[in-house]
């Protein structure tokens, strides 16, 4: 299976914090991912892999939101998982407004809709974000932290977003995305 990890980090030192941990989870199940920085992300990369994980980035990173290269994801049928900043990106691609909302730390999350990434009704997750999104169709809400929409899915496609960082406390989300979608 070919999985592409996309880095949104404007600083390579941040890759060790946001990309490397996801890479380790994949390597533990013998998946050797292709890793690309968002500035080098092209249609041919998307075509050459089975799945895409868009990793998180530092709180101060914003440059990726201006990148036009992600518009191709809108038309894609490949499974995609956006983590942290990757959630922001997926929300933006599908027309959601991003709102300033800072949440840093471990918070309790309530699952609203059954899905193949996670079955627990309540769980704790690690958040590190300065933005949230007002979710609109074709995205639907899978989970909330308080009133914050923190896990989303495309209505028809296997396109997911986690506002929290599953690589920290909820690795099964990454495993299920990789193995079951």
Our finding on whether 39 is near another protein (CB under 8 A) is: no
Q: Which of residues 145-174 bind another protein (CB under 8 A)?
A: 167-169
Smallest gap from residue 102 Cβ to another protein (A)? 7
Our finding on whether 62 is near another protein (CB under 8 A) is: no
Our finding on whether 59 is near another protein (CB under 8 A) is: yes
Our finding on whether 12 is near another protein (CB under 8 A) is: yes
Residue 172 Ramachandran class (φ > 0 left, ψ -120 to 50 alpha, else beta): alpha
Choose among 27, 12, 65: nearest CA to 171: 27
Count of CB atoms within 10 A of residue 71's CB? 9
Which residue among 3, 128, 132, 174 contacts another protein (CB under 8 A)?
128
The phi, psi pair for 58, rounded to 5°, reads -65, 155
How many residues are there in the chain? 181
Give the binding site for another protein (CB under 8 A).
11-14, 16-17, 20-21, 24, 58-60, 102, 104-106, 126, 128, 130, 167-169
């Amino acid at each position: 299976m070919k999985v592409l990890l996309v880095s949104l980090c404007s600083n390579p030192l941040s890759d060790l914090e946001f990309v490397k941990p996801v890479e380790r989870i994949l390597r533990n199940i013998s998946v050797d991912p292709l890793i690309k920085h968002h500035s080098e992300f092209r249609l041919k990369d998307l075509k050459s892999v089975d799945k895409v994980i868009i990793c998180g980035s530092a709180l101060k990173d914003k440059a990726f939101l201006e990148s036009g290269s992600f518009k191709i994801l809108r038309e894609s049928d490949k499974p995609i998982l956006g983590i942290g900043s990757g959630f922001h990106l997926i929300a933006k691609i599908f027309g959601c407004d991003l709102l300033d909302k800072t949440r840093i730390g471990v918070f309790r999350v309530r699952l609203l809709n059954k899905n193949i990434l996670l079955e627990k009704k309540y769980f704790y997750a690690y958040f590190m974000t300065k933005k949230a999104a007002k979710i609109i169709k074709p995205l639907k809400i899978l989970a909330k932290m308080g009133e914050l929409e923190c896990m989303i899915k495309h209505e028809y496609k296997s396109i997911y977003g986690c506002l929290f960082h599953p690589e920290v406390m909820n690795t099964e989300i990454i495993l299920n995305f990789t193995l079951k979608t």
